[in-house]
Amino acid sequence: MTDTDFTSAEDHVSIGPMEPLSPEEIARYQRHILLPEIGGAGQQKLKSARVLVIGAGGLGAPVLQYLAAAGVGTLGIADDDRVSLSNLQRQVIHDSGTIGELKTESAAFSIARLNPHVKVIRFEERFSAESARRHLSGFDLLIDGSDNFDTRYTAADAAEKAGIPLVTGAVGRFDGSVTVLKPYEAAEDGTQNPTYRDLFPERPPEGLIPVCAETGVIGALTGVIGTMMAMEAIKLVTGTGEPLVGRLLLYDALAARFDVIRYKRRRAKAAAAQ
């Protein structure tokens, strides 16, 4: 594992000190800076941001590529897997020359070629409650590109405890979903934002939802969902637009259709019984 020093939870701030952009960076990010909604200030926020991505696989690959291209200053990657030939149909941050390498290492080399201004911190381990306790306070935003419910619940709990936003996505065969969680904050109407368990109260029984190794997944689908996750992250960092808080965006690739489902914080059982 490649690590670095992190601030404690008490010292954690949402975005680090703003750093000036170099002339090369201004030229690189010109199309962002031209947007009034982003501008130079937004680009500086991206440069100062620290984002931890769970998984350098199908979803993590486009997330990492687009956040690196966008100029996110520090990207953490948590993954203990190695690149295999069957990954390359969808995990486009890797290539034939990196088969057998750690995914964190392969992804870090790809990011360095794409944007040398991005700092990469590699965690060659599965994301867990223990690793979150040790590392998460050093980041402003968590993105979950994992492929199992255990990690998704762990990521949601860890982000809520740390008081940082979580962007989470999932794919299966020809469909996918994205949402954003900020349960530590209240919505405009004063009600508390929903948690992951308000959306999925319980883990599905073991084996109920098969993994893509058993059922398959269309490769380009992970690009659609992963890119949308990166877009939500950029919105959160720059304060632009309306993130998918309390909204689950669904994508049906075969029908070329998007749908949005709204969900809210569930009332406590005691309150509901009154």
Mean per-residue pLDDT, 88-105? 97
For 161, residues 6+ apart whose C-beta sits below 8 A from its C-beta are: 132
Structure tokens at 37: 């909604």
Instruction: State how far the Cα of 229 lies from the Cα of 248, in Å rounded to an integer.
Output: 12
pLDDT for 208 equals 54
Q: How many CB atoms lie within 10 A of CB 45?
A: 24
Task: Report whether 166 contacts 159 (CB < 8 A).
Answer: yes
pLDDT band at 210 (very low <50, low <70, confident <90, very high): low
For β-strands 166-172 and 175-181, DSSP reports them as antiparallel
Instruction: State how far the Cα of 6 lies from the Cα of 162, in Å rounded to an integer.
Output: 13
Mean per-residue pLDDT, 263-271? 68
Structure tokens at 181: 């969680």
For 41, phi then psi, to 5°, come to -65, -40
Higher pLDDT, 215 or 36: 36
> Any idea which of 6-20, 138-152, 175-189, 224-238 has the lowest mean pLDDT?
6-20
pLDDT of 52-88, one tens digit each?
999 999 999 999 999 999 999 999 999 999 999 999 9
pLDDT band at 224 (very low <50, low <70, confident <90, very high): very high
State the helix-helix crossing angle for 39-48 and 219-238, rounded to 10 degrees: 110
Mean per-residue pLDDT, 4-31? 66
Report pTM. Answer: 0.89
